[in-house]
C-alpha cells in the first residue's frame, strides 16, 4: 500500500477519493483494505450476506486502469460500497433474507447497482436484512450486531447496512425504507441516513416489501457522502414507471450554502411526551445548534399520527401479501414465524380496508404539506428510543405485540413520501448513539443536505466511531 492510515476505513468518500485521484492509493489497495477488514470483523458483526471478493478486486483493477488511461468517472471512482441484499445483482445471489429466495441469482442488476457502477463505485458485497425487509429475521440468516454494543439492536430491515457503515466495512451502503428502515439503523448505529422522496430513486430490480411505500437511499458517515450517493443513484428510470421525471439537483455544489433564515419547525411537547428523555435532549440540543447556524426554530404542532400509523400498517401489510402471493401460502413453511404472521394479517385486509387506508394517506399527506408551507423543515427524533438489547428468540420468533409507536416519527413519511435525513446528535449515558431527523418538502433533498452539512460543521458527532471496533 502506497500510503498508511490507521483509520483508512473511516475516511469520508471525499477524503478517500482525493487519495485515489492523487495517486496516493489505488482503488485496488483501498478495496483490499476493506475486504481484509470485513474478513477480520464481520464474523462478529454479521453485516454481510455475501462478500463479492473476486468481483470487487476485478472491478477495482478496472477502475485503476481507467484512471491511468485518463477516464475519470467522478468522486465515486474506486470507492468500495455495499448494498442491501434485496438489490438485484447479476450472477450473484439476491436472497432478501428469505429462504424462499435461497437459490435466487438474478440475470440483471438493479438500476441503483448499475448507476453505482457507472459512477465508478466498487460493489464489495450484499448486506444482511430482516426477512423480506419486514421486521423479524429468518432462522437461516444472521442477525447483524450493533458495532456500538454487540448486544444491541442494529435497527430494522437495513440493519446490515447500518452496521457495515458504522464499522467501516464500506464507505457507503444502500438501504430501503418502508416504515423506518433507513432511519432506524442510522439512528441505532450512529450514521447518516438519507431517505429520498418516493420515486426519486428507481426501485427496478429491488425485491419489494410494499411498492407504494418502499424508498431506496444511502447510509453514510457524513451528509456530503450521502449527497454523492444520492446524485449517483437518483433520477428517472424507464424501467420504473413510478420514478419521478424531475432532474436531480447538483446538491454537492451548493451543500455548503448554509441555513441562514431557514425555518425549522419542532413540537417539543410531542417529543417530550413520546421520546426517551435522552433522545429528546439530543434533538433539543440539535435545535440549539441549528439556531446558532442562523435557522429560525419555530414551535409547531405535529399532526396526530394515531390514525395514520394503523392506516400505513394496513397498506403495508396488504401490499406485502401481494408481493408474496406466488410463494405464500404455497410455501408457508419456508417462511419464518415473523413473516408468516404479517402475511396472514396482510391477506386478511379487505379491499375496503385498503381503500380506506389510502384515503387516510391523502389526508395525512395534505396535513404535512400544509405544515411544510409554514416552515421549511421539520425536526424530530429518528426513533423515539435508544437501541434496545436484542434477543434472538424475539427477532426470530412470532411476536404479536409489536410496538407501532416505534414508527411514530418514521412511517408517516413513508406514507407521505417525504424526504428525510437522519443525523447523529449525541451519545447516551451508556455511550449509545442518539439521532435527530429532518423532514423536507417533496424533492427538496438539497435543503436537507445543506442543513445536515451545516450541522456537521458545527458538531463532531458524525466523526465518532464505535469504541468496540477499531
Q: Per the residue annotation, which of 181, 313, 418, 435 is the catalytic one? A: 181
**Could you give all domains of the chain from N- to C-terminal order, each with its CATH number?**
8-463 (3.90.1300.10)
CB atoms within 10 A of CB 40: 10
Catalytic annotation present for 84: yes
To 5 degrees, how large is the angle CA 316–CA 318–CA 324? 100
- Determine contact, residues 433/188, Cβ cutoff 8 Å: yes
pLDDT for the residue 1: 44
- Tell whether omega for the bond before 89 is within 30 degrees of 0, i.e. cis: no
- The pairing of strands 296-299 and 263-266 is parallel
Backbone φ and ψ of 304, nearest 5°: -75, 115
- Determine contact, residues 34/9, Cβ cutoff 8 Å: yes
- Determine contact, residues 55/91, Cβ cutoff 8 Å: no
pLDDT for the residue 399: 55
pTM for this model (two decimals): 0.97
- Determine contact, residues 381/436, Cβ cutoff 8 Å: yes
pLDDT for the residue 2: 44
pLDDT for the residue 221: 98
Q: Per the residue annotation, which of 17, 26, 47, 157 is the catalytic one? A: 157
* Burial of 455 (C-beta count, 10 Å sphere; 0-12/13-18/19+): buried
Residue 31, C-alpha cell as written in the block? 478495496
The span from the first CA to the last CA of the chain, in angstroms, equals 19
Residue 163, C-alpha cell as written in the block? 452496521
Residues in Cβ contact with 347 at an 8 Å cutoff, skipping those fewer than 6 apart: 321, 329
The C-alpha atoms of residue 162 and residue 147 are separated, in whole angstroms, by 9
Please give the chain's pLDDT, 470 residues, in tens: 444 556 899 999 999 999 999 999 999 999 999 999 999 999 999 999 999 999 999 999 999 999 999 999 999 999 999 999 999 999 999 999 999 999 999 999 999 999 999 999 999 999 999 999 998 999 999 999 999 999 999 998 999 999 999 999 999 999 999 999 999 999 999 999 999 999 999 999 999 999 999 999 999 999 999 999 999 999 999 999 999 999 999 999 999 999 999 999 999 999 999 999 999 999 999 999 999 999 999 999 999 999 999 999 999 999 999 999 999 999 999 999 999 999 999 999 999 999 999 999 999 999 999 999 999 999 999 999 999 998 777 788 755 556 767 899 999 999 999 999 999 999 999 999 999 999 999 999 999 999 999 999 999 999 999 997 66
Q: Per the residue annotation, which of 46, 84, 126, 195 is the catalytic one? A: 84
Amino acid at each position: 500500500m502506497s500510503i498508511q492510515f490507521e483509520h483508512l476505513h473511516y475516511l469520508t468518500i471525499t477524503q478517500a477519493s482525493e487519495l485515489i485521484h492523487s495517486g496516493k492509493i489505488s482503488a485496488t489497495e483501498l478495496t483490499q483494505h476493506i475486504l481484509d477488514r470485513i474478513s477480520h470483523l464481520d464474523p462478529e458483526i454479521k453485516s454481510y450476506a455475501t462478500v463479492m471478493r473476486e468481483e470487487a478486486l476485478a472491478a477495482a483493477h478496472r477502475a485503476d486502469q481507467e484512471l491511468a488511461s485518463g477516464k475519470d468517472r467522478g468522486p465515486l471512482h474506486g470507492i468500495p460500497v455495499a448494498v442491501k441484499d434485496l438489490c438485484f445483482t447479476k450472477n450473484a445471489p439476491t436472497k432478501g433474507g428469505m429462504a424462499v429466495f435461497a437459490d435466487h441469482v438474478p440475470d440483471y442488476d438493479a438500476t441503483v447497482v448499475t448507476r453505482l457502477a457507472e459512477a465508478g463505485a466498487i460493489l464489495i458485497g450484499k448486506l444482511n436484512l430482516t426477512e423480506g425487509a419486514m421486521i423479524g429475521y429468518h432462522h437461516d440468516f444472521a442477525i447483524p450486531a450493533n458495532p456500538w454494543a454487540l448486544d444491541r439492536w442494529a435497527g430494522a430491515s437495513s440493519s446490515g447496512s447500518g452496521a457495515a457503515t458504522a464499522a467501516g466495512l464500506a464507505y457507503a451502503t444502500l438501504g430501503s425504507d418502508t416504515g423506518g428502515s433507513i432511519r432506524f439503523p442510522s439512528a441505532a448505529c450512529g450514521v447518516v441516513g438519507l431517505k429520498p422522496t418516493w420515486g426519486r430513486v428507481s426501485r427496478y430490480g429491488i425485491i419489494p416489501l410494499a411498492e407504494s411505500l418502499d424508498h431506496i437511499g444511502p447510509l453514510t458517515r457524513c451528509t456530503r457522502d450521502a449527497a454523492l450517493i444520492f446524485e449517483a443513484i437518483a433520477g428517472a428510470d424507464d424501467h420504473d414507471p413510478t420514478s419521478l421525471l424531475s432532474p436531480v439537483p447538483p446538491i454537492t455544489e451548493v451543500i455548503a450554502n448554509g441555513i441562514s433564515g431557514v425555518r425549522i419547525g419542532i413540537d417539543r411537547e410531542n417529543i417530550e411526551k413520546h421520546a426517551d428523555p435522552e433522545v429528546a435532549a439530543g434533538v433539543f440540543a440539535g435545535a440549539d445548534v441549528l439556531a446558532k447556524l442562523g435557522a429560525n426554530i419555530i414551535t409547531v404542532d405535529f399532526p396526530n399520527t394515531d390514525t395514520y400509523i394503523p392506516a400505513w400498517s394496513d397498506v403495508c401489510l396488504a401490499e406485502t401479501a401481494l408481493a408474496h402471493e406466488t410463494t405464500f401460502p404455497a410455501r408457508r413453511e419456508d417462511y419464518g414465524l415473523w413473516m408468516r404472521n404479517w402475511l396472514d394479517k396482510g391477506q386478511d385486509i379487505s379491499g375496503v380496508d385498503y381503500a380506506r387506508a389510502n384515503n387516510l394517506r391523502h389526508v395525512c399527506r395534505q396535513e404535512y404539506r400544509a405544515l411544510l408551507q409554514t416552515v421549511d423543515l421539520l425536526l424530530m427524533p429518528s426513533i423515539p428510543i435508544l437501541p434496545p438489547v436484542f434477543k434472538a428468540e424475539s427477532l426470530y420468533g412470532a411476536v404479536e405485540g409489536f410496538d407501532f409507536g416505534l414508527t411514530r416519527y418514521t412511517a408517516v413519511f413513508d406514507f407521505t413520501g417525504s424526504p428525510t435525513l437522519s443525523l447523529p446528535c449525541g451519545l447516551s449515558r451508556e455511550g449509545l448513539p442518539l439521532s435527530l431527523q429532518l423532514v423536507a418538502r417533496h424533492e427538496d433533498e438539497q435543503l436537507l443536505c445543506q442543513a445536515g452539512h451545516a450541522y456537521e460543521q458545527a458538531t463532531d458527532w458524525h466523526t465518532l466511531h464505535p469504541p468496540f471496533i477499531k
